[in-house]
Amino acid sequence: MDEELQDRILRMYAAIGDTAEVDISKFRPHLGRSEKCVFVCQDFRGSLSDEQISNLAHSAISNLANLRGHLRRWARLHGHDPNKINEAVKKSIELQVIIDLSNVDKHGYPPRDGGCSKRSPKLTEVNRVMELSIGCQPDSSSVSFALTPKPVVQVVGSGAATVVVSGRIVDKAGSYLGDLHAFLTKGTAAWEHLVAQLGVKKER
């Protein structure tokens, strides 16, 4: 693989990886006491400020969006039609929105002519939250978490619990388009599908 393209793909994975943490033990509840009761408080921001969480989100957005240009360059140099990259973007609303969010971060809002997605997306309410998920298999059918006075977070069930950086993506009218973490995940999958079609051997 072209060394520059390999570097960009690895950077994309690293930036996406920085938005998710599977080691829930890193997020310890705060045990408090008043005259009437003992209480447990929990958030999943860790020690990160609003600005640090926002930087994690925008780093992932930028790395995912910028891969388009590097894939087009690789395609031209290796005898592939660069329009295949454009076609992949047209088929993925997630990639379109991520590219728009990246351009808005660089050039300001709103994007010209509604941007690549034609929806003038913007990112709001960026935060770090717990995501609980289950799989399709019978042995991955439930998940929950509890706050205990030890203090630790206890995850129960066969599903998965991950702390993720996310946010609400809305259009120009404020209508909800989707969740940032989901868009990043699906956008990454769209690039992976294209890379496989192009025969690019990637390393993770």
The pLDDT tens digits for 67-83 are 999 999 999 999 999 99
> Tokens at residue 100, please?
């728009």
**Residue ranges of domains in the chain:** 3-198
- Would the CA dihedral through 55, 184, 121, 65 be positive or negative? positive
Widest Cα–Cα separation across the chain: 74
Q: Tens digit of pLDDT for each residue in 98-154?
A: 999 999 999 999 999 999 999 999 999 999 998 877 665 666 566 666 666 566 666
For all residues of the chain together, what is the average pLDDT? 88
User: Cα dihedral angle (137, 139, 141, 147), rounded to 10 degrees?
Assistant: -140
Q: Tens digit of pLDDT for each residue in 25-51?
A: 788 777 778 888 877 777 888 889 999
Cα angle 37, 40, 46 (rounded to 5 degrees) comes to 150
The amino acid at 2: D
More confident residue, 57 or 156: 57
List beta partners, residue 163.
21, 130
DSSP one-letter code for 81: -
Backbone angles phi, psi at 102, to 5 degrees: -65, -45
Distance CA 66, CA 161 (A): 29
Whether residue 190 has pLDDT greater than 90? yes
What integer is the mean pLDDT of 2-29? 89
What integer is the mean pLDDT of 170-194? 96
pTM value is 0.85
